[in-house]
Structure formats: C-alpha cells, structure tokens
Chains A and B, each alone.
Chain A
Amino acid sequence: MTNPKADLLQGTLDMLILKALSFGPLHGYGIIQRLRVMSDEMLHVEQGALYPALYRIEMKGWVKGKWGENETGRRAKFYKVTKAGEKQLQIEEESWDRLALVIAKMREAT
C-alpha cells in the first residue's frame, strides 16, 4: 500500500492525512501534494493508496467529504477535519511525541 522506502504504519498514514487537512479542506490530490511538501519530498505515498486510508478515517468520522469545485472549476470531493478528527490528531501527535522522546533518550543512552 505504501512505498517501501517509507513503510508507514497504517495509523501513521491516518495521522498524516489528518495533519495535512488540519490546515484547511483539500481534495485527495491536494492531500498528496501537501504531504509531499510537508515531508520535504521525503515521504512518497503511492497516490491510489491514499483513498482506502482516507475512506477509513471518513468512516471513523474524523473527516467529512463534500463534493465541490477546485480552482480550475473541476468537480472534486473536498475533505474537512471534524471535531472528532481534531481530537484524534491531538492524541496521535502527543503519542508520537512521547515515542519520539523515548527513542531519542534511548539513543542518547547508547
């Protein structure tokens, strides 16, 4: 589902999508672009693989999709983070920070 270069855990992709959307509503293509920018081109998500993950978090009620038009007038579905999604993002970021902290400390110890 994801590029082996960055074999992301499923939950991680969910968090990244939420993060990308936390700056404002985007359609799927836009999410991919933003992820690319946010990760300084280091993260390369196979584009189609975005959708199962996107739908999964939509089914969880963290984001909500709505048909609209993009800047060139093309019909596209725009996703927006819901309240529950914001809360989830916060929870995940905190746990990531903790994990990162722990790993950092352990690396210092060696």
Chain B
Amino acid sequence: MDWVNNFIARLRALFRRDVVLNDIDEEMRAHIEMETEANRRFGMTPEEAHLSATRSFGNVGSMRDLAYEVKGGGVAETVWRDVRYSGRLLLKHPGFAVIAVLTLGLGIGANTAIFSIVNAVLFRPFPYESPDRLVVVGETLTGARDGAALSYPNFADWRDDRNVFASASAVRPNENFNLSGLGEPERLQGRLVSAGWLSTLGIKPLYGRDFLAEDDRPGATPTVILSYGLWSRRFGNDQNIIGRKITLNDQSYTVVAVSPPEFKFGLVGLDADVTVPIGLSAERFKARGADPGIGAVARLKPGMSHEQTETALNLVYAHLEQQYPASNARRRAYLMPLHEFFVGSVRTPLLILFGSVALVLLIACANVANLLLVRAAGRKREISVRVALGASRGRIVQQLLTESFMLAFMGAVLGVLIAHWGTGLIAHQLPDSIPRLAEANVDVRVLAFTLGASIITGLFFGLVPALQASRLNLTDTLKEGDRGSSGRQRLRSALVVSEVALTLTLLIAASLLIQSFRRVLQVDPGFDSKHLLTMQVSVSNPNGFQVAAFFNQLQENVRRLPGVKSVAISNGLPLVGANHPNFIILGRPLPAKGTEPVAARYTVSADYFRTMGIDLVKGRVFTVHDTPSSPQVVVIDEALAQQHFPSEDPIGKQLAQSPGTLSYEIIGVVRHVEDDSLERQASTTPQFYLSFNQIPTEKVPGFVRRINVLTRTDVEPTSLTSAVRGQIAALNKDQAVFNVRTMEDIISESLAPRRFSMALLTVFAVVALALASIGIYGMLSYSVAQRTREIGLRMTLGAQRHSVLRLVIGHGMKLALIGVALGLVAAIALTRTMKNLLFGISATDPVTFIAISLLLAFVALLACWLPARRATKVDPMVALRYE
C-alpha cells in the first residue's frame, strides 16, 4: 500500500505545489524559530540568536529545493517542468524550433513515404501461395534472359512433364473481349491461361473451380473465370453466377469461377476482367516459332532448385530441337523468379529514389544535429549560470534532453502526417506501369525505423552538448565568454561539409534527370503529335467483309465531320504497340534460323501517313488503287532501307514474312518513327507498313483484333471525341470504343515514369539545397556571434570592413568548397548507377558537374553573406564591453 500513499502524495504535489511548499516552509521556519529560542535561552541577543540559528540550519533555499525534490511531484513533475521550460525557450526562438521540426518532419515523412512505396513494389511478397517457388518461363535463341515469348506447342510438350515442374500454366495477358448482351457493350481486359491456372498460383477461387484439362482444348465448351471486380460491377455480386452464360466476342461462355477479391496477376491496377482457357484458341498459337507467343508461370517441384529445374527443362528442349529443327534450333528455356519478372524493370529507378530520400534524411539529421549543437553552444552561459546557482549536472542534462526530445517528437508527428499524406499522393502520381502500387500504404516498420533514426539523432546530438555543457568549468566560461570548444567546432564543420557534399550529389543527379527529360521531349518522334485524336475499337465480328466495310464507311463519315483534316485506321500505334514479325528479302540467301531480321509491322489505311504526319522520303504511299486484287505492296521506313539496302534502291524489291508466303513489293520509303519509346536513343528496329485495303477479306478478322481510329483535326482534338464516337455508334451500336486519347497524351503517358522520377528527385534536391543553406547559415551565424569580441577587437585595431567580411565568408566558403569537392567525388561514383535513366547526357557530364558546383557555391556564398554582414556591423565598443 505504500506505493499508493506515495503516488497520492506525489500527485498532490503535482497539482498542489503551493500547498506542499508552504508545508515545507512552515516546518523549516518552526525549526529555526525553536533554535532561535534555544539560543536566546543561552543568553544571546535576539539578532545573534536568529543569525546563529539560520547559519546552523544551512542554506534554506537549497534545502527547501532538495526537500521539495524528495516530497514533490518527483520525476513526473520535473519532466513537466522541463517540458514547460523547454516549451517557453522554443517559443522564444520560434525560428529555430520551426526549422528543426520542419527539417525532421520532412526527413521522416519523405523517407517513410518513399520507402513504403519501394517496399510495396520491390520487397513485399506476392499474395500467392509460396510465391518464391513460382517462376516465369521464357525461351531464348541467344542465351539472353529477357522476357522473350514462349511457343505454345513447346509449352504443351513440357507442361505435363512431372519431372520438371509441380505444375505450370500458360498466361497470355492483354487479350480483349467484347462483353455484349447485358445492356451497354463493354470492352473487357482478358487473359488466356491453361488448365491449372489457379492451382499453380495456389489461389482458391471465391466461387467455382479452376480450369480443367477438358476446358482447355479446341472445341471445348467455352468457359470463363470472372474477376471479382467484373463480378461485382456487372453482375451485382450474384452468388449464383456459376454456370451462367455470358457473351464474349459474340460467343457464349459459361462462368466456372470468380477469383478472390485480392487476386491479381502482377501488373498494377485491376486484375484482368475475364480469364479464358487458351486451348480454345490453340489454332492461333500453333506456330512453334512463338509467333504469336505466350508466357508461362510454373511452380517448382518441392526440393528442386531453380537451377536443377532449368537443367531438367532444357533436357526437354534438347529433344525438341532434334524433333523440330526448323523452329527449335538453339531454342532454350530459362526461368526467372516471378518476383524478378514483375519488378525487375522498375528496380533501378525506385532504388535511386530510395537512395536520394536516404540522402535527404541524412542531411535532415545533420541539420538538426547542427542546429542543436549551435544552440547548445549559444546557451553555454545560461547553463553556467544555472550550474553556479546550484543546478545539478543531471538536472541540466535532463532539461536539455527534454528540449531535444520535444523537437524530435514534434518533428515525428509532422513526419507521420507527411508520410501518411505523401504515400497516398505519390502512389497516386506514380505511373500505372509500376507494379503493385495500389498495395502501397505507410509501412509501420519503415515508419518505426525512420522515426527511430531521427529521434535518436535528435537525442544524441542533444546529449553531446548537454554533457559537455554540464561539465563546464564554471569560472572559465563565466570569465572568458564562450569561445567554443574546438571539438564541437570540428563536429559542426564536419556536419556542414557532409551536408554540402550530399546536396551536391542530389543536385547533380536531379539535374542530369532534368536535362535527360528535356532531351527526350526534344526527340523528333518522326510524326506530328499535335491535333491528333486516337481511339481504339475492337473487332469481334467474324465476318471479314463486314469489318472491312465498316471501317471504310467509318473513315468516309468521319472525314466529312467539320474540323477533321484527315482520318486513318491502323492496327498499331507508335508508343502503344505493334506486332514485330520476322521478314525476309526475296532474292537474297535465307538467313539462318533464329537470325531473321525483325521489324514492326503496321497495317494501315491509305491516309495513315498523311494523318500521322509521317514524311515520304522516296517512292509513293498507298492509294485507293491498292486493293486485294492488285499487286501486294509494302512501304518501308528509312531504318529498314539503310539496314538492308544500304547501297541500292529498295523501290521495287520484294519482302515476305517467310519463305513461300505472300510477297510484297516495296513502293515507298517513309521516315523512321520512334515507336518503341522516345527514350531509347536511335532505336533501330525497322518498320514496314501493309495496306489495310489489301488484306484478303477472309483474313481481316484474324488480322485486326484491335483497330486505332486516328483523326487529324484543325481544332482542339478532344472537341471531336463525341462526334467521332457518334459516327461509330451510328454504324454499329454494339461497338465498344476505348482508350480515347490525343497523341500528345500518349507521348506524355509514355514519359510518365521519367517525369515522375525527375520531379521527385528535383523536389528532394531543392529540399536538400534549402537544408544545406540553413545549415551553413546557422553555423556561420553562430560562429559570428561567438567571435563578436574578437571581431570587435580587430576593428578597434584598425581592421577594415572588407577584411572582416573576408574573414567570415572565408570561413564558411572553405567548408562549402571542401563539401563541393567531396560531393563531386561522391557524385561521380553515384551517377554511374543511374546511367540507364539518362538520355542524351553522360553520367559524368562535365558541364553539369561544373554548373551545379558553381550554383551550390553561390548559394553557400549567400548563406555566408548574411552573417558576414552582421559581423561588419559589430560596434567595437559594444563588442568589447559585451559580457
């Protein structure tokens, strides 16, 4: 029960401090009076008696304090007092408090937000059963392991080989289906998979069952697995959906399963709406040359390593090579962990982001440390006075730590807010092409780590000066004023130097990205992106004649709309995608299997070149006279001409897709289009164009699954969206229209990841620059305040203003320049890692390095200038009398 009484007593003291103090005072007064009376009984005069009593009692004030410390609110009370005292002090110097809190908040918040995202994308396991046992299988002819497509017949030959995988499923994403018969027609995202799709990933369907072997063959009753999203969106979470029939591409499919809500295969955003057995369209994938190809995901057998499985699989490929030398010569398989496959391409940019955030955090911590050191030094006299008045070392350390802790705490609160708000904001801003972003939210462990790092920094750098201050030699400090211990001076200088170095590194990295972005924007794509409206329509009608007639009529009708200059259709679009088949040149020796040249193939209408603004270099483009019955013709680009006809005229030569197939006569050469990406320097994959009008009618549905309608306008292109849509609906009300974008949108979207990392890194660099300037300014301001007497003395002895300026600025600039030198070394080492992100600029571009160094030196000079000017305003008389 003692502790209860104790607690109550302390609580009483905490809230009724005056009562407790009065008690103590009265008790002590009574004591002295009794002693006085006793003294008088011994014959002293009243004055003598009182004096003697007081003397033998000792220092009433300090005894009272000691007594109160025992009896008072205890730790809770001293902490509370420290908090109030520290709060008052911080309010007295709001600039310091605001800068420290903002610095910490930004550091904690930005770091946590970015790391949460990096973590969600790179490190968090996928929501499948034992995702580390899942691999993606690819085929390669050259030994390169980079996502080359797999041949479906090859896949069919090994998927059931239980010596290789526990299970495997084909995956062909980005297939589109038209959902009709349910009111408004809708274009659905779909994928083709094989039997055992869900069981390979280890997913239990919400309802229904996985695809079985009998669903996955030509001629089987069509079946479909619905995504949770589609099921709730279009089918109102109908629990009796299993067995229901829906119409996809004018064909009836039976629903066999609904996937669970969290399920998604890799790429971000929503999961594909529908999943359909690939076996139904096995005919389309029958070529062993992997054209069109598929992907495959497989689960390793228990106890078998990645390497063992790859070896086992390649035994199968060795057999296939003997069996089908035409298509399988040198064809080998490789495995890639699923995780690696999904996130591999975004790893470098995210790690660079993460690195830069870590740098900002370091700078933030260095700054807070510096601020605390400067402040503690500035308070040396205050502390000395308190020590002289009897404050114990422990009390002073406790109070200083309370102050650092309060700053760290406020910074942490701000940091948590920024982290929470920033994660959402960044996840929202990031391009959709970054996988698994939707799963990013503030990672508690990351937050804990960052908070810990920042608070420890705050406390540590609060503790160092606190300990030093409490160990002060009183007389020295009081006598000499504060000259600052050289040790702390060195620590501060080191912090300033490292801040400058880190900032320089970030600034250079950001500047390289900004310049890369500007250069990408200046890339001439080979077409005119202005005033160009694009939209996609899917072709599901099996009747080729109707499809061709539909598009011809559509072009006629759209061309007549006011504001339209020209209209065209194509089955591919630059920066969006096109097929990349092999081709051969007739009359030349056949290249070895696997070394055939590859080119992007666009099937376009006659007005495509005019509409896209692709210039004709030589010969002619398609006209209405190129029909299925006239000679088959092809237009090639300059790249194809240069690569394959370097010294002859390509016009009149013949191309074919493979020996013995239809051949095409080259009629014209057009400019090369940067169709893969604006960011790849001098992409050399050539392009050729076939005429839409020349496709034999019966082949049209197989040829064109997706058609882009391109409209070049005189007016703002989006103003024509509804008019063009209206024309499509007028011809076929069930025709879904999607991806309505201007060509400029497409370019902008293709650059979104680059723009994002550039913008983010720039923000970091600017924050770092601001923090570093504050750091330099703070350090010098303090140093000037510290040397007021010395400067005053110099001026009394005849020093000129400019020599004082030089003295102070020289001090700051020396540190800044050391920082710049170190930063340059660090930048040379670090920018190399971001080579892949740069475009048209070297990772060690000397102009950038010099310009940024000068910029930073200039900012440092400004930060030095203010304190230096203050130094010249020192009045020698005041300075000498100071203290």
B71 nearest CB across to chain A (Å): 4
Per-residue contact bits, chain A 49-60, to B (CB 8 Å; 1 contact, 0 not): 101100110111
Say whether chain B's binding surface is mostly helix, strand, loop, or mixed. helix
A8 to B57, alpha carbons, bound, how many Å?
A: 18
B164 CB, min distance to chain A CBs, angstroms? 77
Closest approach, in angstroms, between the C-beta of A73 and any C-beta of chain B? 12
CB-defined contacts of B829 to chain A, threshold 8 Å: none
Most chain B beta carbons < 10 A, residue from A49, A51, A76? A51
Say yes or no: B63 contacts A51, CB within 8 Å: yes
Contact yes or no, A47 B70, CB < 8 A: no
Min CB distance B57 to A, Å, is 5
**Given the complex, which residues of B lie within 8 Å of A56, measured CB to CB?**
70
CB interface residues, B 29-56, toward A, < 8 Å: 30-31, 33-35, 37, 56
How does the 8 Å CB contact mask read for B265-296 relative to A, with 1 for contact and 0 for none?
00000000000000000000000000000000
**In the complex, what residues of A have CB within 8 A of residue B2's CB?**
60-61, 84
CB-defined contacts of B24 to chain A, threshold 8 Å: 51
A52 touches B37 (CB 8 A): no
Interface residue A72 (Cβ < 8 Å from any Cβ of B): yes
Known: A47-B35, A55-B71. A28 touches B27 (CB 8 A): yes
Please, which residue of chain A has its CB at the minimum distance from the CB of B74? A59
Contact at A74–B34, with CB atoms within 8 Å? Answer: yes
Instruction: Kindly supply a per-residue 1/0 record for chain A positions 11-39, scoring 1 wherever the CB is within 8 Å of any chain B CB and 0 otherwise.
Output: 00000000000000001110010000000
Q: Given A47-B58, A55-B67, verify A74-B35 contact (CB < 8 Å).
A: no
Cβ 8 A contact of B57, one of A1, A47, A60: A47
**A90 interface residue (CB < 8 Å to B):** no
Judge whether B6 and A49 touch: CB under 8 Å.
Answer: no
- Cβ–Cβ < 8 Å partners of B60 in chain A: 48
**Interface class of chain A by DSSP:** helix
Of the candidates A29, A55, A58, A59, which one forms a contact with B35 in the assembled complex, judged by CB atoms under 8 Å apart?
A29
A95 contacts the other chain (Cβ, under 8 Å)? no
A70, B37: Cα distance in complex, Å: 13
Task: Render A75-109 as a binary contact track against B, CB cut-off 8 A, 1 for contact.
Answer: 11100000010000000000000000000000000
Q: Is B59 an interface residue (CB 8 A)?
A: yes
Q: A48-B63, A49-B58, A75-B26 are in contact. Are A28 and B37 (CB under 8 A)?
A: no
The answer to whether A7 has its CB under 8 Å from any CB of chain B is no
**With known contacts A29-B35, A51-B63, A59–B30 Cβ distance under 8 A:** no
Q: Are A27 and B30 interface neighbours, CB within 8 A?
A: yes
Q: Is the pair B70, A48 in contact by a Cβ cutoff of 8 Å?
A: no
Which residues of chain B have C-beta atoms less than 8 A from A51's C-beta?
24, 27-28, 63, 66-67
When chains A and B are docked, how far (Å) is the Cα of A51 from the Cα of B21? 13
Q: Which residues of B contact A59 (CB under 8 A)?
A: 6, 9, 70-71
Kindly report which residue of chain A lies nearest to residue B66, judged by CB atoms. A52
**B69 interfacial by beta-carbon distance below 8 Å:** yes
In the complex, what residue of chain A is closest to B65 when comparing beta carbons?
Answer: A52
- A76–B27 contact, CB under 8 A? yes
Nearest A-chain residue to B5, judged by Cβ = A61
Contact A48 B28 (CB under 8 A): yes
Distance of A55 Cα from B10 Cα, bound (Å): 12
Q: Which of B23, B34, B70 contacts A29, CB < 8 Å?
A: B34
Contact A29:B67 (CB < 8 A) given known A48-B60, A51-B24: no
Q: Which residues of B contact A28 (CB under 8 A)?
A: 27-28, 30-31
Q: Given A47-B57, A51-B63, A52-B70, does the pair A29, B31 have CB atoms closer than 8 Å?
A: yes
Q: A48-B59, A49-B58 known; A75 and B30 CB under 8 Å?
A: yes
17 contacts between A and B (CB under 8 A): A1-B66, A28-B27, A28-B30, A28-B31, A32-B31, A46-B56, A47-B31, A48-B58, A48-B63, A52-B67, A55-B70, A55-B71, A56-B70, A58-B71, A59-B71, A72-B37, A75-B26
The 3 closest A-B pairs by CB, nearest first: A48-B63, A48-B58, A61-B2
